[in-house]
Chain A
Amino acid sequence: MQPLLFLTLLLLSAGAYYVGRRRALAVAGGHIRNLHSLPSFYGSYAALWCGLPALLVFALWAVVQPNLLVDWVVAGLPPELRDLPPDRLNLVVNDLKNLVGGNFVSSASDPVMVEAAERYRQLRAIGNTALWVVVLSFAIAGTAYAWRAISPAFRARNRVEGVVNLFLIASSTVAIFTTVGIVLSVIFESMRFFRQVPVAEFLFGLQWSPQTALRADQVGSSGAFGAAPLFAGTLLVSAIAMLVAVPIGLMSALYLSEYATPKFRAFAKPALEILAGIPTVVYGFFAALTVAPLIREIGSALGLHVASESALAAGLVMGIMIIPFVSSLSDDVINAVPQSMRDGSYALGATKSETITRVLLPAALPGIVGSILLAISRAIGETMIVVMAAGLSANLTANPLEAVTTVTVQIVTLLTGDQEFDSPKTLAAFALGLVLFVVTLILNIIALRVVRKYREQYE
């Protein structure tokens, strides 16, 4: 990165704006009404011509230069180094870069390397100078072009607006590209994984121990990639979470919307929503250091064996985290039930709770189901709490007092620490990611549909 060059370019653009404006006033003979557009548009036009092409060149250069330099330097290395297999060569290049950066490396004493580093530095210096020259010439040439183009009839505004429009449209596609990026990256890597491990074995296998498949001769054939225990663990933890979150969240929402005084509501609703703003790592810490030991103590007091990292602890805390999610969505849904339904019920002599359980809840049911689906998808995708509190052992169990592991925990475990990018261990994380993405996507789509349908019903 070259912050100085960047700043210079910004300054030049500002200058170009001024020049363009002056030029426009000059060609118009000082009378703005002779111009097609306001003078500031001519200024912006010049500034864009000054900045954009130069910036483009700048960016391109910044991407290409390091690779080119490496190629050139490698080409100049003695043949015995140059012809090393790619991974070994990579190590040499890394050493070289460290040397260039002035760091101490083991090969510092090797004269060949020192010389190569020196050459690299020289080339880089030349390259950087060239970059300045080229970028600044583009800036000046662009300004000159704009300067010549400016005439009273010139439609500067349309041009400038065209560029802005382009920027707007490009921005709106970023979200699309993000989705495409997610889909492509997980699918691409998953396909490589499924070439080594059959899909059926991955989805239905009961044995998960990816760490044993590290040796190259064992790849994929060890049968250690059966993800069923992970899915079961995810379900167990999510189920516990929902058992906590749904009753508490729903009852809170009902109380707040039907019973609470406006004052209490104004206090309690935001206070409850604090739970949604607390980072998940904090919940994880709370689960691992406070809730899990507590559960273990209670368990042993009752004579039960509780694992130190139990599904119950993770699920409970995750449930707490999801309470505001359920409650605020349900609150919206319940408030969307028209007042006339309540009136109809009260007018027949129903009590509040009868009205709630017999009219409001059935009426709001689709919306509530939708929000619970969203909450489930949230629970399934939640990572930090389970990473910190649920553990790593892939037990296929329905006992909440035992340790289980989840899809997200395994993704994190497989991808942190040293990794080779091609090992099935790493690729398995992407396969799990694919499952996670697909499941949450389906849940979300159904939930959003249901909720929207429900809203329309009462509009």
Chain B
Amino acid sequence: MNKATSPNGATPPHERDIKTIVNAGLARRHAAERRFRWYGLTAITLGLAFVVLMFANIINKGLPAFWQTYIQVPITFDAAALDPEGQRDPRALAGADYNALVRAGLRQLFPKVEGRLPLRALSALVSTDASYDLQRRVLADPQLIGTQQEIWLLASAAVDTFVKGNIDRGLEEANRPIKDNQIDWIDQLRAAGKIERQFNAVLFRSGDSREPEQAGIRGALMGSFFTLLVTFLLSFPIGVATAVYLEEFAPKNRWTDIIEVNINNLAAVPSIVFGLLGLAVFINFFGLPRSAPLVGGLVLSLMTLPVIIIAGRAALTSVPPSIREAALGMGASKLQMVGHHVLPLAMPGMLTGSIIGMARALGESAPLLMIGMVAFIVDVPKSFLDPATVLPVQIYLWSDLPERAFVERTSAAIMVLLAFMILMNGLAILLRKRFERRW
């Protein structure tokens, strides 16, 4: 063992004592090892931290949007003002001046307020929707006329933001959307228990609006629903049929090779290019209407198709050949074999792939911008041809708006979107677990 006194000295390399040599370098090498391991752990921690950070950030911003400030105002449904004819004619009732009722109610709360500007500031405490709210109430229940009621009216976005603590009192008056006198009133209302936070049903009940407190995602949700319905109805049957054809029937030749390569490449084409296709072909060539869920669905189904085809083929290949042989052996035709035996076994896998594809389509926005689904649309769409937007595009539209209340709503809309995605992916995982088979 005394081959070498100095490990790397004059002895020829082949006679050096490996034990001493290795020992000399061990500390350094182990340090390098620890460092490398630490890099890896840091990388993965960073990645996971981003996930947590993003979710935390969005939930933190969006959670308050699920509650909305309301102000309790005494409203006198004055018969003389609302229905001078006394006929309870809905037309006449609809045309009455409800704004006046709101103003009167607010003045009743703060009788000392005088002057045009202060009075305007006072009315600005409640949303412009308050008068429509009263109109709806009266139309729904004409009995209200002639009574006085304490009614919770939707507060304006500025009030809501202030009540949620997102406007600093210490700011100079000119720099905040809510003025000193308004703050004073809000404090009084608060002290009297006339300010309350309620569940923000408006968010789920109404379409888009320029006023944050009146803006909701109902329109976008319905738009997404119609768009995805079209996407599913088109891409699922076509995708399954393509997968079945390629996997079970197609001869292996140049043509099917081309189809295969083509599908793989299509899966990697940037989504915005599909938008260009939709614009050029569906809108400009076929003359389909802009902003329609039908066109959005068409574009997204072309995008989703490769996903479904690839998942479908994987599901089909996982069905063992023995089942095919058994079916054919019983005298079934090839189509019967596929229809009765192979397809049912592959169906859970295909559905899983399709759900994941649909979840992706749900989050897609870029191609929809191209086909005009970015318009400001107040009405909730009722069909495939009504102008509509979708949830992610609504998020995009709102994210451009500077008001704090919109930032809040954007985050809330993101939470709803993510909830849907989690739901769909969860469903896919469940389906896979439930039907997972080991052959």
Using a CB–CB cutoff of 8 Å, the interface residues on chain A facing chain B are 1, 157, 161, 164-165, 167-169, 171-176, 178-179, 181-182, 185-186, 188-189, 247-252, 254-256, 258-260, 268, 271-272, 274-275, 277-286, 288-290, 320, 323-324, 327, 349, 351-354, 356-357, 374, 377-378, 380-384, 387-388, 408, 411-412, 415-416, 421, 429-430, 433, 436-437, 440-441, 444-445, 448
Contact = CB atoms under 8 A, between A and B. Distances in A.
Nearest to B256: A172
B113 to A, nearest CB: 37
A421 B279 CA distance: 10
A283 B43 CA distance: 19
B276 A411 contact: yes
Interface stretch (B26-34, B159-167, B169-177): B26-34
B326 interface: no
A356 B36 contact: yes
Nearest to B240: A171
Contacts of A178: 266, 277, 302, 305
A429 B277 CA distance: 12
Contacts of A352: 33, 36-37
B142 interface: no
Contacts of A249: 43, 47
A320 B407 CA distance: 22
Given A274-B51, A286-B58, A448-B264, A181 B366 contact: no
Contact of A412 (B272, B284, B335, B407): B272
Interface in B9-49: 22, 29-30, 32-33, 35-37, 39-44, 46-48
Given A189-B280, A251-B44, A440-B268, 20 more contacts: A1-B385, A175-B242, A175-B309, A176-B259, A176-B262, A178-B277, A255-B43, A278-B421, A279-B421, A282-B363, A282-B417, A284-B399, A285-B399, A324-B47, A351-B33, A380-B270, A383-B369, A411-B276, A430-B280, A436-B273
B333 A172 contact: no
A441 to B, nearest CB: 6
Contacts of A188: 280
Nearest to A38: B336
A157 B270 contact: no
Nearest to B267: A444
Contacts of A416: 369-370, 372, 374
B280 A289 contact: no
A374 B268 contact: yes
A280 B22 CA distance: 51
Contact of A320 (B37, B50, B244): B50
Among B39, B46, B366, residue most surrounded by chain A Cβ atoms (within 10 Å): B366
Contacts of B66: none
B238 interface: yes
B425 interface: yes
Contacts of B245: 168-169, 171-172
A255 B366 CA distance: 34
B136 to A, nearest CB: 23
B58 A282 contact: yes
